[in-house]
Structure 1
Amino acid sequence: MLPLGQGLQKKGYQITFFGVPDAETKIRAAKLDFYPIGADIFPLGSTEALFKKLSKLKGIPALQFTINWFYQSAQIFLEEGANALEKTGVEALIVDQINPEGGTVAQLLDIPFITLCSALPFNQEPG
């Protein structure tokens, strides 16, 4: 997503990434704007702790942990996303396919969006 954001920025578009506080350093290092969400659930430093815990799990417990992590991430954007998008004046959204809640919030606000697959396809919607 970072190379796409940088490419669009070079074409004159304002690019803002929305994410948990741990993502900010990497986004800003790429010279892109960042809007933090989910700091109550995932405060600074929590991503490393989550990966550390996940690395010690395997099988069903690892799957359950990952599903819960994705659930919490989706919950954050569903609860905070609309306000964040309105506050920053977003006119269109590029949604990573692994975060389908982005499209839901975009539809709620009547903001055009596309779903991007920057890894192996993980289609969740028909067609």
Structure 2
Amino acid sequence: VDTSCSGHGVYQHNTCSCKCDSGWKGPDCSISTCPDNCNDNGYCLDRQCVCHTGYTGHDCGLPTCPDDCNDKGHCVDGKCVCFEGFSGDTCGIQKCLSDCKENGRCIDGQCLCDEGFSGNDCST
């Protein structure tokens, strides 16, 4: 039995075992631990979580969003909440004014008006 407890605990003579310091575990306190065991979304390396793809945070407890919402929205619980004027799973679709008044199609943020309609929002 390692009575030095790997330098990360105190040897308890009455139980012949180590009482590990915070952040360490194992019979000889040689295994480092991480916050919340990285929530099973990563692995522990030198007492820090290394998150698997799709997770972030000091404990890998936060899901990431696809394409970081293209910098056009906020990531909330792994889903993009898009800023005004943008939509889609990754906030990569630019919306059109008033949805082209249902008189055209929105392509890359611009209204392509149906025949007989014109204007920025196909209202004329």
TM-score bracket relative to the smaller structure: under 0.3
- Bigger Rg, structure 1 or 2: 2
Q: Which has the higher contact order (CA 8 A, sep 6+)?
A: 1
TM-score (norm. length: structure 1): 0.19
TM-score (norm. length: structure 2): 0.19
Determine which structure has the larger strand proportion and give its number.
2
